[in-house]
Structure 1
Amino acid sequence: MLLRKRVKAGILLYALHMSAVFALLLNFYLLRVQANERQSIAQLSASQAFLMAEVTKDLATEDAGTVSFNQGSASYSHKKDQLSVKVRLDNGQSFSYVFAREQKQEVDSKLTRNIDDSSIE
């Protein structure tokens, strides 16, 4: 009789131990899945904001202005040789980017100079 009680208690303790280990592993797995989802959402938002900033850089013709998109808006301003772009997404996040302002005449003259140099060789 005493042996049966000990065996039943041992099985119960083993089952309790295994369920605790399973619960810990399940909790760890669920936390990792949630963290991965949050990271994916953050990367998507950052990619959208950077793409909006790139498009704004191409469209920026005045000293300052605002460009509206489906996912938010971007405001820009020229400061010396830099273009400052601030992107605000519809979900409330905001991102700031600074681009070097290129002079098109310099780029064109460098390009023709490199072509002329390569034709000489």
Structure 2
Amino acid sequence: MWKKKKVKAGVLLYAITIAGIFSLLLQFYLNRQVAHQQTYVLNKEKLAAFAMAMKSRQKATLKSGERTFNLGKVTYKDNSKGFIINVNTDKHYFEFILPTLKKVEEQADKTVDKEKNPGNHVTREERSEDKLPQVNERPVQESSKKAD
């Protein structure tokens, strides 16, 4: 009779331990899912804010102004730092700094001039390789398994 009580207590202790471990694993999994969902929602809102900023930049005719969208409010200002765009959404505030409109117009004028006068002369400022950042590349190791 004494031994049967020990066995029942051991099985009960084992069941409680396994339930505790399972609940911890479930809690970690659910917290990770919640974090991924929050990141997704923030990225989605950031993308919408960037789209509103780009649309405002395209439609900008003055040095500074304000536009209202159904997802938020955009204010923009063109100064020496660049084209600064502030986007207020329901939950967050975003700020984007883009090149000034004058630089964009000058680049557009250069491309129009190049199309009109196709020549082989390229100045140092116009070479694209000078503008690109240097990247150190590492070779990718190929796996020994090949896909058939």
What's the TM-score, normalizing by structure 2? 0.72
1:67-117 residue CA offsets vs partner (Å, 9 max, x unmatched): 11110010011103621110101x231111111122425422344326602
CA RMSD of aligned residues (A): 1.8
1:37-91 residue CA offsets vs partner (Å, 9 max, x unmatched): 11111101111111111111101110111011110010011103621110101x2
Q: Which residue of 2 aligns with 1:112?
A: 113
- Cα separation, partners in 2 of 1:103 and 1:13, compared to 1, 3 Å: closer
How many corresponding residue pairs?
117
**Greater than 2 Å deviation, 4+ residue runs:** 102-115
Range 75-84 or range 108-117, more displaced: 108-117
- Cα separation, partners in 2 of 1:6 and 1:78, compared to 1, 3 Å: same
5+ long unaligned stretches in structure 2: 121-148
- Residues 81-100 of structure 1: matches in 2 within 5 Å? 82-89=82-89, 91-100=90-99
Give the Cα–Cα distance (whole angstroms) in 2 for the partners of residues 6 and 92 of structure 1.
58
What's the TM-score, normalizing by structure 1? 0.87
Q: Which has the higher strand share?
A: 1
- Residues 1-121 of structure 1: matches in 2 within 5 Å? 1-80=1-80, 82-89=82-89, 91-101=90-100, 102-113=103-114, 116-117=118-119
Q: Which has the higher helix share?
A: 1
Give the Cα–Cα distance (whole angstroms) in 2 for the partners of residues 103 and 27 of structure 1.
51
Percent of paired sites with the same residue: 28
Give the Cα–Cα distance (whole angstroms) in 2 for the partners of residues 22 and 46 of structure 1.
36
- Cα separation, partners in 2 of 1:7 and 1:81, compared to 1, 3 Å: closer
Range 17-26 or range 79-88, more displaced: 79-88
